[in-house]
């Protein structure tokens, strides 16, 4: 007799969604090739955005700076100061909903929200580090022009606008002129990793985020960023890869149908297979498709079909066998049905873990560090999916070992609390 696990495997294989159907070597090669094309300015799903942020200067100490963390769901503002040993202190922390995450805002409403949140900090420091968790093209003066919204933010008029200028011009009209440095959250994670490396023991730095969205940053030699012609060839800088938009990952029909149901159809397909804004929805669609094919009992089918949504937090609840969300009714399901729900969700998360590991591996290899175990590549990882989904970080670590082990690259996975604020502070202090 087939166990729920066998049934889950059969369903996923029929739908080209099983982790065993992924060819890791081919996908890694595709990642690296897309990175090269992006650096050369050729057609690529990876934007490989130069950030004009390098890591060769020391972080100024005993100087307060305002740090903004505009994340997927929340927006936080604080002051940060590093002491003589490089330890940061975060003060005056305020937390708000990310503008546009609850309802659609027009351009003016969107920017005025930031002004409102920043005004209480007007007398706290001269410089501001602005960490922004969305794809933005960075100007040499370190402002960011929004390329597109991800994570289902609703403020369409803001696309194409310079975010920093729009906010800081408004603040200036109110009498506050401030310098600012705008950076992606993965670059902030990378800088936060660098900021704790007093002994300078790491050979290279990566910032990887897997929370509401996903992305990676690493340091690249300017001479390899061939799409930019006026960079100092001797220098290097952080690159925001925008890896959530990677388009060469193997997708099945359910992935495709799920993408069709999202705000930014056809874009950020990799992100939609692995990140917190989407994993729950993807798992629910998989359950519904399995129910359509009569993989559940009649009662199980009814329950799955009546479920309007499933969050990624609820998927974690299912994996921990807590009765929440779809799991509200899971208690009423037969043991077979419950097992099938569990195995389908677990398998989608396992595929996400392999994809995450491939993404990190591509960045580690591209960073050209880690040749000596004395100077490993520092991978600072941030994000709720990575740390909170049951077993997720362990699966990623296992896959990283399998992928990078044979390549003899040394790397170390680290976690720096409040990375977006710390990294924003580092960038703000250097502007």
Binding site for ligand BGC (CB under 6 A): 72, 133-135, 150-151, 184-186, 209, 211, 213-215, 242, 244, 271
How many Cβ atoms are within 10 Å of 67's Cβ, its own excluded? Answer: 32
- Nearest distance, CB of residue 275 and ligand BGC, angstroms: 7
Following CA atoms 423, 425, 426, 431 in sequence, which dihedral angle do they give, to the nearest 10 degrees?
A: 130
Report the chain's C-alpha Rg in angstroms: 22
Give the nearest distance from C-beta 212 to ligand BGC in angstroms.
6
The residue (of 213 and 369) whose beta carbon lies closer to ligand BGC is 213
Is-contact 359 31, C-beta < 8 A? yes
SS3 for 242?
coil
Report how far residue 406's alpha carbon sits from residue 178's, in angstroms, rounded to the nearest whole number: 49
- Of 135 and 370, which has the nearer Cβ to ligand BGC? 135
Output 149 or 411, the one with its CB closest to ligand BGC.
149
Q: How far apart are CA 17 and CA 272, in angstroms?
A: 13
Nearer to ligand BGC, 341 or 427 (CB): 427
Angle made by CA atoms 359, 280, 334, in degrees to the nearest 5: 125
Sign of CA dihedral 310, 250, 358, 37: negative
Minimum gap (Å) between residue 27 Cβ and ligand BGC: 19
Q: How far is the CB of 20 from ligand BGC (least distance, A)?
A: 28
Element (H, E) at 168: helix 163-173
- How far apart, in whole angstroms, are the C-alpha atoms of residue 247 and residue 60? 40
Helices 312-319 and 335-366: crossing angle in degrees, nearest 10, is: 120
Q: Name which of 163 and 347 has its Cβ closer to ligand BGC.
A: 163
Helix 4-14 with 279-292: angle, nearest 10 deg: 100
What's the burial of 114, exposed, middle or buried (CB within 10 Å: 0-12/13-18/19+)?
buried
Minimum distance between the CB of residue 215 and ligand BGC, rounded to whole angstroms?
A: 3
C-beta nearest to ligand BGC: residue = 213
Q: How far apart are CA 240 and CA 218, in angstroms?
A: 7
Q: Tell me phi and psi for residue 160, to 5 degrees.
A: 90, -5
d(CA 335, CA 326): 15
Q: Which residues pair with 179 in a beta bridge?
A: 127
Shortest approach of ligand BGC to residue 342 CB, angstroms? 28
In terms of CB distance, is 125 or 192 closer to ligand BGC?
A: 192
Distance CA 222, CA 238 (A): 10
Structure tokens at 80: 């940060």
- Give the nearer residue to ligand BGC in terms of CB position, either 55 or 98: 98
Nearer to ligand BGC, 161 or 271 (CB): 271
Task: Take residue 420 and report the two structure tokens written for it.
Answer: 């977006």
What's the min distance (Å) between Cβ of 209 and ligand BGC?
A: 4
Least distance in angstroms from the C-beta of 300 to ligand BGC: 34
Q: State which residue, 63 or 415, has the beta carbon closest to ligand BGC.
A: 415
At closest approach, how far in Å is the CB of 417 from ligand BGC? 17
For every residue of 365-384, DSSP letters joined together read HHTT--SSTTSPEEEEEE-H
Q: Which is nearer to ligand BGC, 15 or 393 (CB)?
A: 393
Smallest gap from residue 102 Cβ to ligand BGC (A): 18
């Amino acid at each position: 007799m087939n166990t729920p696990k066998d049934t889950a495997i059969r369903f996923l294989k029929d739908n080209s969604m099983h982790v065993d159907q992924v060819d890791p070597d081919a996908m890694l090669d595709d990642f690296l090739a897309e990175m090269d094309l992006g650096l050369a300015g050729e057609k690529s799903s990876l934007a490989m955005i130069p950030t004009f942020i390098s890591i060769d200067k020391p972080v100024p100490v005993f100087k307060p700076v305002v740090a903004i963390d505009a994340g997927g769901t929340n927006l936080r503002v604080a002051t940060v100061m590093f002491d003589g040993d490089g330890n940061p202190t975060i003060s005056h922390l305020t937390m708000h909903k990310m503008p546009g995450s609850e309802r659609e805002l027009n351009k003016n409403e969107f920017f005025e929200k930031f002004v409102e949140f920043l005004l209480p900090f007007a007398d706290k420091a001269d410089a501001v580090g602005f960490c922004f968790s969305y794809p933005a093209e960075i100007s040499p003066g370190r402002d960011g022009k929004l390329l597109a919204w991800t994570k289902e933010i609703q403020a369409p008029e803001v696309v194409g606008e310079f975010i920093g200028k729009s906010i800081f011009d408004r603040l200036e009209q109110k009498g506050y002129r401030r310098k600012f440095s705008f950076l992606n959250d993965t670059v902030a994670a990378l800088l936060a990793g660098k900021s704790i490396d007093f002994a300078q023991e790491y050979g290279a730095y990566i910032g990887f985020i897997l929370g509401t969205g996903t992305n990676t940053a690493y340091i690249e030699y300017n001479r390899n960023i061939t799409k930019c012609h006026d960079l100092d060839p001797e220098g290097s800088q952080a690159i925001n890869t925008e890896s959530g938009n990677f388009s060469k990952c193997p997708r099945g029909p359910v992935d495709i149908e799920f993408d069709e149901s999202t705000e930014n159809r056809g874009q950020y397909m990799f992100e939609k297979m692995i990140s917190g804004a989407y994993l729950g929805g993807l798992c629910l669609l998989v359950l519904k498709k399995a129910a359509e094919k009569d993989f559940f009992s009649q009662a199980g089918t009814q329950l799955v079909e009546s479920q309007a949504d499933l969050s990624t937090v609820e998927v974690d609840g299912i994996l921990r066998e807590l009765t929440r969300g779809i799991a509200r009714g899971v208690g009423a399901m037969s043991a077979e049905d419950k097992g099938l729900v569990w195995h389908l969700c677990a398998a989608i998360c396992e595929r996400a873990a392999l994809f995450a590991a491939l993404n990190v591996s591509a960045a580690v290899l591209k960073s050209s560090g880690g040749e000596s175990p004395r100077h490993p590549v520092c991978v600072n990882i941030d994000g709720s999916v990575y740390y909170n989904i049951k077993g997720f970080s362990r699966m990623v670590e296992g896959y990283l070992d399998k992928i990078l082990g044979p390549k003899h690259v040394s790397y170390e996975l680290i976690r720096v609390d409040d990375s977006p604020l710390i990294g924003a502070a580092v960038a703000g202090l250097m502007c």
